[in-house]
Amino acid sequence: MDEMLVISKMTGIAVQDGWKPYRTYDVLHQLCNSNHLRELQAASENLGQVWAEEMIELLLCAKDEV
């Protein structure tokens, strides 16, 4: 990323998946909601976390309202 100047020369908000190296750059960060949904789905299916399905529904409803 440094050699290609992917993030170091950017302006605006970096929408990203939470990969830790992205946090070393001094830009505004936003986590991608598609990644949130995948992680919540995994928590529901693999860990039996009931709240994760409720959070998925909340995020999708909020998206529809926006």
Q: Is the same domain home to 2 and 26? A: yes
What does the radius of gyration of the chain's CA atoms come to, in whole angstroms? 15
Evaluate if residue 14 carries a pLDDT over 90: no
Q: What is the pLDDT of residue 60?
A: 96
Q: What is the pLDDT of residue 58?
A: 97
Q: Is the same domain home to 42 and 20? A: no
Q: What is the pLDDT of residue 61?
A: 97
Amino acid (one-letter) located at 56: I
22-58, pLDDT tens digit by residue? 888 888 888 888 999 999 999 999 999 999 999 999 9
55 contacts 43 by C-beta, under 8 angstroms: no
Q: Is the same domain home to 27 and 39? A: no
Q: What is the pLDDT of residue 1?
A: 76
Q: Is the same domain home to 39 and 22? A: no
Residue that the structure tokens 């693999």 belong to: 46
The number of domains in the chain is 2
Amino acid (one-letter) located at 53: E
Amino acid (one-letter) located at 18: G
Q: Is the same domain home to 37 and 26? A: no
Q: Is the same domain home to 37 and 63? A: yes
59 contacts 33 by C-beta, under 8 angstroms: yes
Mean pLDDT of 3-32: 85
Q: Is the same domain home to 24 and 5? A: yes
